[in-house]
């Protein structure tokens, strides 16, 4: 039968590669002082128990609030009230949704002599987790009455800055009308959060957005648990954006080093009283896909422009720009639908037979063909149709 002490020592040595580090401080040879609590470290023992006997006054520690990215450390005191050396080793540890980086050291032979005590230190670093935190480490011992003891640390992890909501989404922006949204930033450090500037990811459309910032009222800050300060960010989408989807990212510059820049995605769709329908039309991106066209055959596609509202009868489509010029655009006669509040205008887009080779199959807007139509509509004077296609020459 194997020696139990040797088995525990083997477990202790093998556990050095565990994720959560446990450091057992050098054992002090001091006697345990007297006290009233017979179970606490330092309580007098009338007579030493046969064999090792582990006594620990605390097995869990609440560190309160910690900022994400911070490092924690706590020492647990372990005493041996037996008459044989107490051997400590590491068992299982929990890591959950955090990353723990630490060092591990054991006293010589990993032993706590009779009548002495040692410290067990848990160290942890939080990198990506926010919310309630619980980290534990199991100690293996050669105390036959307590072969294992679990040490735990608990608390709350907060970010440096929190954005609520995380992004702004405008589901339907009326054409020709402004629309606004709000985002709240909460700071959790004693130093008050300030926004010192901002940038937009698409400078070409920066003029279509207005961004203003101001401190949050004290009562709103107090309503957010653990927040110390806050800022209110207002984003206004100005009139003038083309009909269809839009995307923008606002990069806020703050006075906090660990959150120097905070990104707010903004997206939405500008509605229109003009709509396009037909085979191959992708409304969400405003693109007509023709695919690869044989030069000798050519192709054509029929779309319909639907005009609604009080200005529907005023809509008169006129081609203003066609790129490349090998495309042909033909506007048909408008037809009134229902009571005259809706008109349907046929639009034929053609690649004629005998066209030269071309490639407009790109993924970006400037890599596609483009048709710009004057509409006569007071709120949307232009309508742009992007065309994805290529012309393949015939084999010789």
Same domain as 148, residue 32 = yes
Same domain as 130, residue 251 = no
Q: Which of 106, 131, 158 is the last residue of a domain?
A: 158
305: domain CATH number is 2.60.40.10
Same domain as 145, residue 19 = yes
Selection from 78, 235, 117 nearest residue 168 by Cα? 235
Contacts 24+ apart (CB under 8 A), 279-283: 283/244
Work out how many domains the chain is built from and give that number.
Answer: 3
- Cα–Cα–Cα angle for 314, 316, 321, nearest 5°? 140
pLDDT attached to residue 49: 58
Same domain as 180, residue 130 = no
Q: Which of 239, 270, 301 is the last residue of a domain?
A: 270
Same domain as 223, residue 144 = no
Q: Which of 136, 158, 180 is the last residue of a domain?
A: 158
DSSP result, 129-181: --EEEEEEEEEEES-TT-SEEEEEEEEEEE-SEEEESSSEEEEEEPTT--EEE
The dihedral sign for the CA sequence 201, 246, 197, 163: negative
Same domain as 353, residue 318 = yes
- Residue 110 in 3-state DSSP? helix
Same domain as 361, residue 279 = yes
Same domain as 171, residue 143 = no
pLDDT attached to residue 9: 45
Cβ pair 83, 115 in contact under 8 A: no
Same domain as 71, residue 58 = yes
Average pLDDT per 10 consecutive residues for the chain, totaling 396 residues:
44 36 41 42 53 90 76 85 88 56 52 88 72 80 91 82 91 81 92 93 89 95 92 92 83 89 90 88 89 95 92 92 96 87 94 96 90 89 93 85
| Burial (Cβ within 10 Å: 0-12, 13-18, ≥19) of residue 347 | buried
pLDDT attached to residue 196: 94
pLDDT attached to residue 69: 67
Percent of the chain with pLDDT over 70: 81
Same domain as 166, residue 294 = no
pLDDT attached to residue 25: 45
- Encoded tokens for 313: 């009868």
Same domain as 154, residue 19 = yes
Strand-strand pairing, 22-24 and 328-331: unpaired
pLDDT attached to residue 107: 58
Residue 363 lies in domain: 274-392
Cβ pair 135, 153 in contact under 8 A: yes
Same domain as 27, residue 89 = yes
């Amino acid at each position: 039968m194997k020696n139990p002490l040797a088995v525990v020592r083997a477990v202790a040595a093998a556990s050095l590669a565990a994720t959560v580090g446990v450091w057992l401080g050098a054992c002090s040879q001091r006697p345990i002082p007297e006290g009233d609590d017979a179970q606490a470290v330092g309580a007098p023992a009338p007579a030493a128990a046969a064999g090792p006997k582990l006594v620990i006054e605390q097995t869990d520690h609440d560190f309160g609030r910690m900022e994400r990215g911070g490092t924690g450390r706590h020492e647990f005191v372990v005493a041996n009230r037996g008459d044989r050396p107490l051997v400590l080793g590491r068992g299982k540890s929990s890591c959950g949704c955090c990353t723990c980086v630490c060092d591990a050291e054991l006293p010589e032979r990993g032993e706590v002599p009779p009548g002495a005590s040692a410290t067990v230190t848990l160290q942890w670093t939080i990198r990506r987790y926010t919310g309630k935190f619980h980290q534990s480490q199991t100690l293996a011992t050669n105390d036959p009455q307590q072969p294992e003891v679990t040490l735990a640390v608990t608390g709350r992890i907060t970010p440096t800055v929190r954005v609520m909501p995380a992004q702004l989404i405008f589901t339907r922006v009326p054409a020709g009308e402004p629309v606004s949204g709000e985002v709240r930033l909460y700071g959790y450090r004693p130093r008050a959060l300030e926004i010192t500037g901002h940038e937009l990811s698409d400078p070409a459309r920066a003029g279509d957005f207005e961004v203003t910032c101001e401190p949050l009222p004290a009562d709103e800050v107090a309503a957010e648990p653990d927040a110390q300060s806050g800022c209110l960010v207002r984003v206004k989408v100005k009139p003038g954006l083309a009909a269809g989807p839009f995307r923008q990212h606002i990069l806020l510059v703050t006075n906090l080093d660990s959150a120097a820049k905070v990104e707010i995605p903004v997206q939405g769709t500008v509605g229109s009283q003009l709509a396009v329908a037909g085979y191959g039309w992708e409304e969400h991106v405003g693109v007509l896909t023709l695919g690869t066209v044989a030069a000798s055959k050519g192709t054509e596609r029929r779309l319909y422009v639907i005009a609604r509202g009080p200005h529907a009868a005023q809509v008169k489509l006129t081609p203003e720009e066609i790129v490349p010029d090998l495309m042909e655009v033909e506007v048909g006669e408008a037809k009134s639908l229902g009571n005259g509040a809706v008109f349907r205008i046929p639009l034929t887009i053609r690649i004629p037979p005998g066209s030269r080779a071309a490639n407009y199959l790109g993924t970006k807007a400037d890599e596609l063909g483009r048709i710009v139509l004057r509409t006569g509509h007071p709120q949307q004077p232009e309508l742009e149709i992007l065309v994805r296609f290529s012309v393949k020459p015939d084999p010789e």
